[in-house]
């Protein structure tokens, strides 16, 4: 890579190394004009462009130029200052996205697990404020059913007969219901229901074991247990409440070069769903 393709900037004392093409994403911006020698405001000192601006915030400017997406930390709060920096550099599409602060802020997600034991069965109901989380959890949880003889109903090993997966009950997009354990069928036969929660491969029939695995799965997925309580009712129902900061959908800029437009970038907004 030639020296003309590599640009070194010192922004508020923080050093950045990047490609010239990265800074030229938006041809009308100050950074693009700097590379093209059309903006003398930034001084060239010992081969580095000196920029008297906030170096910490410029790291987010560089991330945007490299990815064309706005993706900020969950604890980020300097939206107005970053918007002001974007306006200074002439990155108005970025400034426009930052003005929509409500779209970029992470949101608090609440999830509640209700659990009750009744004789040889355990009942579970999971409520979530985010339907996509419930959908993902429903893909992880599988209930299997099969018949077993009374002498082996509490065996830790499933019957050798093939187990049949059952669909989870979904009263709404925000909750799911399932159960495990055994119930009387006929004679000495029992219907057994096992629960498996990915990525764990075990099929569990004991409700307490299933509850423990479920809670561990939620904790590994970034949830935090904030309260436990027991409902005062005829049936003892334990309730576990979790919370998690859910990262907002990333906002992306789509840059198109249009004929007859002197290479000026056209930008439009779109939403890109980010990972957890």
The answer to whether 266 touches 256, Cβ cutoff 8 Å, is yes
Residue 185 has pLDDT above 70, yes or no: no
Residue 215 has pLDDT above 90, yes or no: yes
Greater pLDDT, 163 or 266: 163
Residue 255 has pLDDT above 50, yes or no: yes
Residue 134 banded pLDDT, cuts 50, 70, 90: very high
- Domain regions of the chain by residue span: 6-104, 108-246
Which residue is listed with tokens 């706005």? Answer: 70
**Mean pLDDT calculated for residue range 253-261:** 46
| Main-chain phi, psi angles of 97, to 5 degrees | -65, -40
Torsional sign, CA 135, 221, 125, 206: positive
Which CATH number applies to 108-246?
A: 3.30.1410.10
Which residue is listed with tokens 């569990």? Answer: 204
User: How confident is the model at residue 55, as a pLDDT?
Assistant: 94
Residue 260 banded pLDDT, cuts 50, 70, 90: very low
Torsional sign, CA 229, 233, 236, 241: negative
Which CATH number applies to 6-104?
A: 3.30.710.10
Torsional sign, CA 37, 40, 41, 42: positive
Residue 194 has pLDDT above 90, yes or no: yes
Residue 107 banded pLDDT, cuts 50, 70, 90: confident
Least confident of 16-20, 29-33, 166-170, 189-193: 189-193
Residue 119 banded pLDDT, cuts 50, 70, 90: confident
Greater pLDDT, 253 or 212: 212
User: How confident is the model at residue 91, as a pLDDT?
Assistant: 95
Q: What is the largest CA-CA distance in the chain?
A: 92
Q: Is the pTM here over 0.85, yes or no? A: no
* Most confident by average pLDDT, 54-58, 187-191, 229-233: 54-58
Residue 4 has pLDDT above 80, yes or no: no
First to last CA, the chain: 36
């Amino acid at each position: 890579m030639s020296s003309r393709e590599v640009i070194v900037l010192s922004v508020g004392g923080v050093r950045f190394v990047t490609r010239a093409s990265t800074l030229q994403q938006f041809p009308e911006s100050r950074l693009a004009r700097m590379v093209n020698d059309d903006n003398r405001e930034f001084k060239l000192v010992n081969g580095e462009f000196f920029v008297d601006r906030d170096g910490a915030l410029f790291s987010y400017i560089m991330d945007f130029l490299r990815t064309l997406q706005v993706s900020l930390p969950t604890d980020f709060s300097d939206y107005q200052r970053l918007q002001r920096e974007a306006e200074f550099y002439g990155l108005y599409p970025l400034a426009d996205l930052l003005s929509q602060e409500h779209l970029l802020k992470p949101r608090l997600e609440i999830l509640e697990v209700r659990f009750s034991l009744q004789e040889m069965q355990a009942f579970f109901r999971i409520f979530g404020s985010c339907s996509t989380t419930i959908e993902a959890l429903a893909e992880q949880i599988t209930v299997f059913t099969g018949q077993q003889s009374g002498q082996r109903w509490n065996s830790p090993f499933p019957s050798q007969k093939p187990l049949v997966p059952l669909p989870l009950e979904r009263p709404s997009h925000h909750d799911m219901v399932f159960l495990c354990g055994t119930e009387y069928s006929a004679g000495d036969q029992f219907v057994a229901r096992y629960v498996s929660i990915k990525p764990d491969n075990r099929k569990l029939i004991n409700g307490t074991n299933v509850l423990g695995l479920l809670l561990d799965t939620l904790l590994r997925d970034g949830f935090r247990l904030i309260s436990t309580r027991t409902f005062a009712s005829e049936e003892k129902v334990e309730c576990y409440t979790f919370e998690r900061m859910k990262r907002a959908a990333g906002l992306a800029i789509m840059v198109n070069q249009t004929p007859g437009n002197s290479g000026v970038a056209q930008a439009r907004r779109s939403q890109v769903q980010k990972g957890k």
